[in-house]
């Protein structure tokens, strides 16, 4: 038991030290940003990411630093990464819209049915973790209501637990479907942001193949396939082509 307690205490101590180091690096990076030393701030923020620590604030600040350095591709990339952690963050959404307005490509999406568009907005409203929490809460409501029904002797309370258990069951099923759809959407295709200034998408994954269309820095694309050092990408208007891996970063 003493050994277990020692290991737990050691783990907590190491975690506190790591957290303290990350906080110090963040403060240093923020100071560099305030001093308008944006390139140095970028280096410092990225050094925090190298420790496998990530947060909405970190991606937000890093995106701002890239924007101030006129690197809109990397700015959009980091705003998008922050939105994966918090899809409804207003600061990220606002800054992303500002930077996207400066991007060259203004590609119109293929029109969708209203119900499809509504469903996609719903499943992307929260992160995977938040949807998991919602599902768990409704399952707990269901289990708690069932337990209370068999424990209580009050008819009024039992009628209430029947009603609450129906809500719990309906919510658990409905939000489980949303969670499944959200996870399936996240894993069916990766998304990337073009970080190269200008590039031509190829018909096949080699430099000698025909050019299909030209795209520019900051464009968000779906990545459907990987072949060697090439990504098969799809634009929001349905166009498909191949790009070198080095031309974009996965969100």
More confident residue, 84 or 8: 84
Q: Which of 238, 235, 164, 149 is nearest to 199 (CA)?
A: 235
- H-state helical runs in 1-154: 2-34, 38-49, 56-68, 72-85, 90-100, 114-123, 128-151
Lowest mean pLDDT among 13-17, 62-66, 112-116, 172-176: 13-17
- Phi, psi at 168, each rounded to 5°: -60, -45
pLDDT for the residue 9 = 42
More confident residue, 88 or 227: 227
Provide the pLDDT confidence category of residue 16 given band limits of 50, 70 and 90. Answer: very low
- Beta pairing, strands 220-227 & 190-194: antiparallel
Summarize pLDDT for 54-72 with one digit per residue, the tens. 899 999 999 999 999 999 9
Kindly state the average pLDDT of the residues 26-39.
93
pLDDT for the residue 188 = 64
CB neighbours of residue 110 within 10 Å: 8
pLDDT, averaged across the chain: 87
Q: What distance in Å separates the CA atoms of residue 103 and residue 73, rounded to the nearest whole number?
A: 8
Residue 88, both tokens: 């409804």
Q: What distance in Å separates the CA atoms of residue 81 and residue 46, rounded to the nearest whole number?
A: 13
Q: What distance in Å separates the CA atoms of residue 23 and residue 12, rounded to the nearest whole number?
A: 16
* Residue reference for tokens 């990408």: 233
Collapse the DSSP code of 57 into the 3-class scheme (helix H, G, I; strand E, B; otherwise coil) and give the result: helix
Provide the pLDDT confidence category of residue 17 given band limits of 50, 70 and 90. Answer: very low
248-250 sheet: strands from edge to edge: 211-216, 198-202, 240-244, 230-234, 220-227, 190-194, 248-250
Summarize pLDDT for 184-196 with one digit per residue, the tens. 877 766 899 999 9
């Amino acid at each position: 038991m003493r050994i277990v307690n020692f290991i737990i205490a050691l783990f907590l101590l190491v975690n506190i030290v790591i957290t303290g180091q990350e906080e110090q690096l963040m403060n240093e990076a923020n100071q560099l940003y305030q001093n308008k030393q944006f390139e140095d701030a970028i280096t410092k923020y990225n050094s925090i990411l190298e420790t496998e620590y990530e947060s909405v604030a970190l991606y937000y600040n890093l995106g701002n630093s890239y924007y101030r350095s006129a690197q809109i591709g990397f700015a959009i990339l980091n705003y998008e990464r922050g939105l994966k952690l918090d899809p409804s963050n207003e600061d990220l959404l606002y800054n992303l819209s500002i930077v996207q307005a400066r991007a060259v490509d203004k590609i119109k999406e293929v029109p969708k049915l209203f119900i499809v568009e509504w469903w996609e907005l719903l499943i992307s409203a929260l992160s995977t973790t938040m949807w998991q929490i919602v599902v768990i809460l409704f399952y707990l409501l269901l289990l708690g209501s069932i337990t209370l029904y068999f424990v209580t002797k009050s008819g009024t309370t039992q009628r209430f637990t029947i009603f609450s258990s129906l809500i719990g069951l309906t919510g658990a099923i409905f939000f489980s479907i949303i969670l499944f759809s959200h996870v399936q959407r996240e894993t069916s295709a990766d998304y990337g942001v073009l970080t190269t200034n200008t590039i031509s998408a190829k018909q096949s994954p080699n430099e000698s193949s025909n050019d299909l269309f030209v795209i520019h820095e900051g464009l968000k694309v779906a990545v459907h396939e990987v072949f060697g050092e090439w990504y098969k990408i799809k634009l929001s208007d349905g166009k498909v082509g191949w790009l070198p891996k080095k031309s974009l970063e996965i969100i």
